[in-house]
Amino acid sequence: MTALSFRNVQKYYGRDAGRHHAVRGFEADISAGELVVIVGPSGCGKSTLLRMVAGLEDISEGQIMIGDRVINEIDPSRRDIAMVFQNYALYPHMTVRANMGYALKIAGVNKSEIQTRVEAAAQILGISELLARKPRELSGGQRQRVAMGRAIVRQPKVFLFDEPLSNLDAKLRVHTRLEIQKLHRRLGVTTLFVTHDQVEAMTLAHRVIVMHAGEIEQFDTPEVIYNKPASLFVAGFIGSPPMNLFAHAPGASSGQILGVRPEHFEFTSEGWPVIVDTVELLGAERLIHGNLGDETIVIRVDAQQVAPTIGQTLYVKPIAERMHWFDAHTKKRLER
């Protein structure tokens, strides 16, 4: 069953010559209970798209549907969605309990039902002991849980997350990411999650939408996006570090670009001569940054291997079945 659908959705800002086309012909079907992450650089249109679903932005053209209902003209309060924002958006003068139950109170839900829902959500999120506190008495991670609890109590058909982890430190981001995964498994609510962080996208999503300049570059599972990127943009955006892209690689035909992920090289006595520029130790692995003629290259190796010295020449070759080819003009993937 399709829970959330987009049909040729367009978003324009401004008029005439100064008009900006922020979202361009967005088409996607998201299944009931699916967690889909939209990832892309700043300005690609991902948050604008989320805000159109929420009703915070008008839809210039096309349709957005929740189930079989077109929501373009439906008031945001009647769309049966709940949104978790980047900045938490908690009322500072209210307790956690009041913050979590406020939307239900405005909707006219009776007090006993509000209490039941708030306490159930608090138990799920592990914040029952915080219900009497004010937001200023909470850490960033606790505030984010309260924001999620406020969404949970509404029991919506769709959850929307707008970069909810970007204000947290690295360790807390990992922890909260795991909590969101557990929460989704428990509730099974269709979820659209927007982020610029590819690690969040690849670890959270059932499927990932990679956006660029207002358009979908690829919509698939994290595994397919990593192993078979559909375009040069996806190849260069997904992966840390991203895929090596060579315009003048041996064996390449005119107008073709070769892509190789850093972990997909092997050392040989004969091969591409790489002059080592810098070496990074990342715990269990090392990243070797080098020069291959006039192009740069990054090679990922096990940290147990002896580290090369700066200026040393290494000979490597890409693993044949792990090579990716792209058309230099269309920027799209080529199958060989």
Mapping DSSP to helix (H, G, I), strand (E, B) and coil, where does residue 36 land?
A: strand
Distance CA 269, CA 276 (A): 16
Mean pLDDT within 289-309:
94
Which pLDDT belongs to residue 251? 65
pLDDT digits (tens, 9 = 90+) for 230-272: 999 999 999 999 999 999 876 667 889 999 999 999 999 889 9
| Contact between residue 225 and residue 208 where contact means Cβ atoms under 8 Å apart | yes
**Entry pTM:** 0.90
For the domain 241-334, what is the CATH superfamily, name and number? Nucleic acid-binding proteins (2.40.50.140)
Question: What confidence tier does 114 reach under pLDDT thresholds 50, 70, 90?
Answer: very high
Which amino acid is residue 285, in one-letter code?
E
- Per CATH, the number for 2-230 is 3.40.50.300
Which pLDDT belongs to residue 311? 97
C-beta atoms surrounding 278 within 10 Å: 10
Mapping DSSP to helix (H, G, I), strand (E, B) and coil, where does residue 18 land?
A: helix
| Contact between residue 272 and residue 292 where contact means Cβ atoms under 8 Å apart | yes
Question: What confidence tier does 276 reach under pLDDT thresholds 50, 70, 90?
Answer: very high
Which residue, among 333, 318, 335, has the nearest Cα to 233 in the 3D structure? 333
pLDDT digits (tens, 9 = 90+) for 213-228: 999 999 999 999 999 9
Contacts of 43 (CB under 8 A, 6+ apart): none
> pLDDT above 70 covers what percent of the chain?
99
Q: Where in the chain is the domain with CATH 3.40.50.300?
A: 2-230
Burial of 73 by CB count in 10 Å (0-12 exposed, 13-18 middle, 19+ buried)? exposed
Distance CA 288, CA 279 (A): 5
Q: Where in the chain is the domain with CATH 2.40.50.140?
A: 241-334
